[in-house]
Amino acid sequence: MYKSPATLTFLLSSLFTLGTPSPVDTAANVHQKRAEYVRGISSLEVKRSENGPVITQNFPDPSIIKVGSTWWAFATESAGTGINIPMASSTDFKTWIVTSQDALPNTPPWVNMTAQALWAPDANQLDDGTFVLYFSAAVNNNSAHHCVGAATSKNVNGPYVPQSDPLFCPIQQGGAIDPAGFKDWQVKGNWTAVNGNWNSKRAAKYSNNNNNSWTNASWSQGGMGGQRYITYKVDGNSLGNGDLAGYGNCGNTVSPIVPTPIVLQAVAADGVTIQGSAVTILNNNGLSDNGVVEAPSLVKSAGGEYVLFFSNGCYDTANYTVNYATASSVSGPYTRNGPLFQTGTDGLYAPGGADVLWDAQHMVFHADYPDHNATNRPMYTAIINIQGNTVTA
């Protein structure tokens, strides 16, 4: 539909003018304004809250990061491609191009390369502008179990250089998969509007004039400072006692059902140095979860609520979901309030493996398409809204 230049000017002006706040804003308000700026460009393009598939080929367990004006997505390895960790990029959150580049061309010595099982990568930008990529992979001499590793790069699209040893490797509990970084954003000092305006041309800066503006590319993880964490799943169902008929192939629906805890581990500013002990923040509820909770993605809403997105059910059944739980503290307790997406939502089948940007608004996930057998799991996108302990899309 034709839009006159005057109409487009009005739309863009409305989009990027974020209001006139008080001279000093709260942390939550600043976070919301920064999130609105990130959302702004793509909101003109997205016609409904859930879009897709935006990548039609197999692209399961996707994660996203935005650096500058470009979105990047990373996914689980697809057999037969010769690429350990595939990537895709977009400038509008709608049209995605899968690259031919491998984010992790070389793997560490503990990885079993014959298993073709590099799963659920997650890229994060550190405060110094460099990047750390978390991933899980099958281990040598025991391909039934995975461990979590880390790799670093100066560029978001790599190549990432892996650390020699895994970060998390609880083999006796089933191993570890599905790592995801999270930074508990905070505001240092007082934030002030520039000439009373928060728009993209007059970015707000710290009152101590350290030039760390909320539009700076290095702020792709929600701002400087704040405690970093990694969430991951202890893969207990790899030690499970088998499956009842109709519950898929995740191996944990025959009693006794093995725990599959999602844990939270604090790390230093480098994203890899462990700080303190891990804390369990969610676990499976037995048969009602098909013995599985996995794929954690933790965000903090503009109102300060912690929202843990996760999947429950077995990935190759209609029971798989994009679910969520909320808490007022990063370490919980978390209360389930989902699911957000499940089989039947907008025609989706077995949606799961979601990741949410730090803005708590942009989400990616996979679902089975066109067949319902988990052999092709393309990527979908969604714009979500968090109000208190409720998430809508």
Give tens-digit pLDDT for 92-104. 999 999 999 999 9
* pLDDT, position 186: 66
What's the distance, CA 260 to chain centroid?
19
Q: Which residues contact 373 (CB under 8 A, 6 or more apart)?
A: 316
Give residue 315's identity as a one-letter amino acid code. Y
Judged against a pLDDT cut of 50, whether residue 105 lies above it is answered with yes
Q: Are 190 and 207 in contact (CB under 8 A)?
A: yes
Does residue 195 surpass a pLDDT of 50?
no
Q: Once rounded to an integer, what is the mean pLDDT over residues 76-90?
A: 96
Q: How far is CA 288 from CA 31, 349, 350, in A?
A: 36, 18, 16
Catalytic entry in 61, 77, 289, 359? 61
Q: What angle do CA 33, 36, 41 make, to 5 degrees?
A: 140
Determine how many CB atoms are found less than 10 A away from the CB of residue 285. Answer: 13
- Residues 368-378: what's their mean pLDDT? 94
In 3D space, the residue among 169, 163, 182 whose CA is nearest the CA of residue 122 turns out to be 182
Domain range summary for the chain, segments of one domain joined by +? 1-44+192-206, 48-185+221-392
Annotation says 61 is catalytic? yes
Helix (H) or strand (E) run with residue 12 in it: helix 5-16
CA distance 77 to 56: 15
Q: In 3D, which of 9, 37, 359, 22 has the Cα closest to residue 215?
A: 37
Q: Which amino acid is at 103?
A: A
pLDDT at 29 (0 to 100): 44
CB 310 within 8 A of CB 292: no
| Reported pTM | 0.84
Phi-psi region of 120 (alpha: psi -120 to 50; beta: other; left: phi over 0): left
pLDDT at 221: 52
The one catalytic residue among 102, 294, 316, 359: 294
| pLDDT confidence bin for 223, thresholds 50/70/90 | low
User: pLDDT value at position 167?
Assistant: 98
User: Is there a catalytic annotation at residue 294?
Assistant: yes
Q: Which fold has domain 48-185+221-392?
A: Tachylectin-2; Chain A (2.115.10)
Question: Would you state the pLDDT for residue 28?
Answer: 44
The per-residue pLDDT for 372 is: 93
33 pLDDT above the threshold of 90: no
Mean pLDDT of the chain: 84
Q: How many helices (H) and strands (E) does the chain have?
A: 2, 25
CA angle 74, 76, 81 (to 5 degrees): 100
Q: What is the DSSP letter of 61?
A: S
Instruction: Encode pLDDT of 279-338 as tens digits.
Output: 999 999 999 999 999 999 999 998 889 999 999 999 999 999 999 999 999 999 999 999
- pLDDT value at residue 141: 86
The pLDDT > 90 percentage for the chain reads 72
